[in-house]
């Protein structure tokens, strides 16, 4: 979750990222603001995300933090392909942690409140949160006709409730913690969540540097996204093989 300054291309990247993830459904200004806020957080443009939230205080949800692979980006992390899973663990000190893993990658640990990477807890320091301990209330993305009419990727329709209006969403492209905006609830239309415009994906995003031609495919780049170690004899591939 590297933090990057907006730069001259920041706004253009954010708009293209939002379209690529959520599609191009005809949505209100407020819902599109939620999309832009998410895209800005994913790309590390935190200042831009703050500007979006300030310009549209009625957005239905906002991104608290995200560890997410941008669509079309050349960065390989996170790589959660292969049955991704996430677990919330609560510590005796009141701190909650998030364990993320997939079939092909090593476990990763995050501070649930901030998204800061952290080491795994020692045995006995934390206990897995049970379903019974999760918030009993309306989901943010719910297909029921009485729920908010929102657009989202299909994988987001089964979030983990974290309490205080926050939800954890797990996807092959990463994890994100989002927060429901209670101030928007009274006037928001119902109709349920709709993922139809998101599944296909649109746009031709280019996004984050470096491009493949400027970064060699060496052992370090292979080790990072896969979470495995490559042989010490691995050499940098020539440009023709990238």
Write out pLDDT tens, residues 96-126: 999 998 887 788 999 999 999 999 988 878 7
- Residue 237 confidence (pLDDT) above 60: no
Contacts for 216 with CB less than 8 Å, ≥ 6 apart: 236, 237, 239, 242
Q: Are strands 85-91 and 96-102 parallel, antiparallel or unpaired?
A: antiparallel
Lowest mean pLDDT among 68-77, 91-100, 151-160, 171-180: 68-77
Packing angle between helix 10-22 and helix 46-55, nearest 10 degrees? 70
- Residue 132 confidence (pLDDT) above 80: no
Q: Average pLDDT over the chain, rounded to whole?
A: 79
144 half-sphere exposure, CB direction, 13 A CA radius: 7
- Residue 234 confidence (pLDDT) above 60: no
- Residue 189 confidence (pLDDT) above 90: yes
Residues 170-178: what's their mean pLDDT? 90
Q: What is the pLDDT of residue 11?
A: 83
241 half-sphere exposure, CB direction, 13 A CA radius: 7
CA 175, 104, 110, 71 dihedral sign is negative
- Taking the C-alpha atoms of residue 33 and residue 183, their distance in angstroms, rounded to an integer, is 15
Residue with the bigger pLDDT between 121 and 201: it is 121
Which of the given ranges, 51-65, 76-90, 121-135, has the highest pLDDT on average? 51-65
- Residue 72 confidence (pLDDT) above 60: yes
pLDDT band at residue 29, thresholds of 50, 70 and 90?
very high
- Residue 53 confidence (pLDDT) above 90: yes
Cβ atoms 23, 144 nearer than 8 A: no
Q: What is the pLDDT of residue 128?
A: 86
Contacts for 99 with CB less than 8 Å, ≥ 6 apart: 86, 87, 88, 89, 107, 108, 109, 120
Residue with the bigger pLDDT between 107 and 236: it is 107
- Residue 60 confidence (pLDDT) above 60: yes
Structure tokens at 54: 């300030």
pLDDT band at residue 6, thresholds of 50, 70 and 90?
very low
Residues 164-178: what's their mean pLDDT? 91
One-letter-per-residue 3-state SS of the chain: CCCCCCCCCHHHHHHHHHHHHHCCCCCCHHHHHHHHHHHHHHHCCHHHHHHHHHHCCCCCEEEEEEEECCCCCCCCCCCCCCCCEEEEEEECCCCEEEEEEECCEEEEEEECCCCCECCCCCCCCEEECCHHHCCCCCCCCCCCCCCECCECCHHHHCCEEEECCEEEEEECCEEEEEEECHHHCCCCCECCCECCCCCCCCCCCCCCCCCHHHCCCCHHHHHHHHCCCCCCCCCCCCHHHC
Q: What is the pLDDT of residue 77?
A: 77
Lowest mean pLDDT among 117-126, 148-157, 203-212: 203-212
């Amino acid at each position: 979750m590297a933090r990057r300054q907006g730069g001259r291309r920041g706004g253009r990247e954010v708009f293209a990222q939002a379209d690529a993830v959520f599609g191009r459904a005809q949505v209100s200004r407020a819902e599109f603001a939620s999309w832009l806020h998410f895209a800005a957080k994913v790309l590390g443009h935190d200042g831009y995300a703050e500007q979006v939230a300030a310009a549209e205080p009625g957005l239905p949800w906002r991104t608290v933090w995200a560890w997410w692979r941008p669509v079309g980006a050349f960065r390989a992390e996170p790589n959660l392909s292969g049955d991704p899973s996430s677990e919330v663990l609560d510590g005796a000190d009141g701190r909650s942690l998030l364990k993320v893993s997939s079939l092909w990658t090593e476990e990763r640990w995050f501070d649930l409140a901030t998204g800061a990477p952290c080491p795994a807890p020692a045995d006995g320091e934390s206990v897995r949160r049970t379903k019974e301990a999760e918030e009993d209330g309306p989901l943010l993305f719910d297909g029921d006709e009485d729920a908010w009419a929102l657009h989202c990727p299909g994988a987001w329709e089964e979030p983990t409730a974290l309490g205080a209006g926050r939800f954890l969403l797990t996807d092959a492209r990463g994890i994100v913690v989002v927060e429901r905006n209670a101030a928007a609830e009274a006037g928001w239309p119902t109709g349920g969540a709709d993922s139809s415009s998101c599944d296909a994906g649109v746009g031709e995003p280019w996004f984050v540097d470096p491009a493949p031609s400027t970064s060699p495919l060496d052992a370090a780049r292979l080790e990072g996204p896969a979470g495995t170690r490559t042989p010490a004899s691995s050499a940098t591939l020539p440009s023709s093989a990238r």
